[in-house]
A and B are shown apart, each in its own frame.
Chain A
Amino acid sequence: MSEHDHPHEHAQRDFQPDEEPTASALRAAAIEALLTEKGVVAREEVTRVVEATRAQTPQAGAAVVARAWSDPAYKERLKARPFEAIAELGYDIPIEAPQLYVVENSPAQRNVIVCTLCSCYPRALLGPPPDWYKSLAYRSRVVVEPRAVLREFGTVVPDDVEVKVWDSTADLRFLVIPERPAGTEGLGEDALAGLVTRDSMIGVSDALAPEGAEVRAG
């Protein structure tokens, strides 16, 4: 992209003052500025979406998993009709959202999600995907050597545990229900939700152990 190397005095004002805009940043700013001038979009519309996206967290996903751990009937509803079950907790899934398929880990099987083609991800539940989910290395490898990839996340899967990898598309997304950690029998849903990490719902890690519990070896 060296053909777009430009002097830095043309930095757009939305960049941090100490941050030198790259050629890519300048080009992206140029596209937005031109679309604004042509009346195709308004700057504030873009800013509002940025703010909404940055505010998204995996909290909805964690709440859904915590309810599924606490209520077996809810878990069945979640697996059978995910959007209806998610709406029960007051979360609004946009009407145009792609189909969702909920998969559950067990002592015999764990599930991992990927989008080998790009970055499809259950954003409505987990917020924006992490960089590594969109990386070429993850997308290439997790479908052929999931155990090796999970080890890079510090997750060691015993040989007798089956690993299922689910490849997302623009029309179908997945959510993993991780195994409920041991020692959480007395915990309420809020405390349980605090143990449900984004990575555990992608399937690359386990849910967190409750405070005071011995961290599971391995």
Chain B
Amino acid sequence: MSAAPDDRKPHDRGGWPTDEHVDTHDHAHLDWEWRTDALVRVLSAKGVISTDQMRRAIESLPLERYEASSYYERWSAALEALLVEKGLLAAAEVDARARGAA
């Protein structure tokens, strides 16, 4: 985890100190990544969530989680948080379903 310059939120990366090189290769997305991308679009089109709400949810992830997550892991975590906030999902039922128990 890198220290946030001047109390920034974790998404605000412009000029954030790093020695990392850019991995310029294209990587194929996994099925769940395509589906998460699509799910967010479908929910936005239906008016269940908005782009700005998604943005706020991604930007609210803790720094450590933000940096440790891949792009669609951030999306998925933010979407879940947003849907829990809206009362459409409960974190416990997502836990249970992901474990295969429900």
Bound CA span A19–B59, Å: 30
Bound CA span A136–B88, Å: 31
By a CB distance below 8 angstroms, the chain A residues around B41 are 49, 53
Bound CA span A131–B76, Å: 16
B38 partner, pick from A16, A24, A49, A134, beta carbons under 8 A = A49
By a CB distance below 8 angstroms, the chain A residues around B94 are 27, 30-31, 34
B93 partner, pick from A16, A34, A53, A135, beta carbons under 8 A = A34
A45 close to B42 (CB less than 8 A): yes
Bound CA span A152–B23, Å: 8
By a CB distance below 8 angstroms, the chain A residues around B100 are 6-7, 9-10
* Closest B residue to A9 using CB positions: B100
A41 close to B43 (CB less than 8 A): yes
A50 close to B24 (CB less than 8 A): no
A23 close to B98 (CB less than 8 A): yes
A170 partner, pick from B55, B68, B80, beta carbons under 8 A = B55
A170 close to B35 (CB less than 8 A): no
With A6-B99, A41-B43, A117-B12 as given contacts, are A31 and B38 in contact (CB-CB < 8 Å)?
no
CB distance from A115 to the nearest CB of B (A): 9
By a CB distance below 8 angstroms, the chain A residues around B18 are 136-137, 140-141
With A25-B30, A141-B18 as given contacts, are A46 and B35 in contact (CB-CB < 8 Å)?
yes
* Closest A residue to B68 using CB positions: A1
With A40-B88, A49-B38, A143-B14 as given contacts, are A30 and B97 in contact (CB-CB < 8 Å)?
yes
CB distance from A132 to the nearest CB of B (A): 5
Range of interface residues on chain B?
35 or more
Contact mask for chain B residues 40-58; partner A; CB cutoff 8 A; 1 contact, 0 none: 0111001010011001001
By a CB distance below 8 angstroms, the chain B residues around A34 are 89, 93-94, 97
CB distance from A13 to the nearest CB of B (A): 10
With A28-B35, A31-B76, A34-B93 as given contacts, are A119 and B71 in contact (CB-CB < 8 Å)?
yes
Bound CA span A139–B94, Å: 32
A6 close to B98 (CB less than 8 A): yes
CB distance from B18 to the nearest CB of A (A): 5
B67 close to A136 (CB less than 8 A): yes
* Residue A179 is within 8 A (CB to CB) of chain B in the complex: no
List residues of A whose CB falls within 8 A of some B CB.
1, 4, 6-7, 9-10, 14-16, 19, 21, 23-35, 38, 40-41, 45-47, 49-50, 53-54, 114, 116-119, 128, 130-132, 134-141, 143-144, 149, 152-153, 167, 170, 204
CB-based closest 10 A-B pairs: A10-B100, A116-B14, A30-B97, A49-B38, A137-B20, A139-B13, A30-B98, A25-B32, A140-B16, A28-B32
List residues of B whose CB falls within 8 A of some A CB.
11-18, 20-27, 30-39, 41-43, 46, 48, 51-52, 55, 58-59, 67-68, 70-73, 76, 79-80, 83, 88-89, 93-95, 97-100
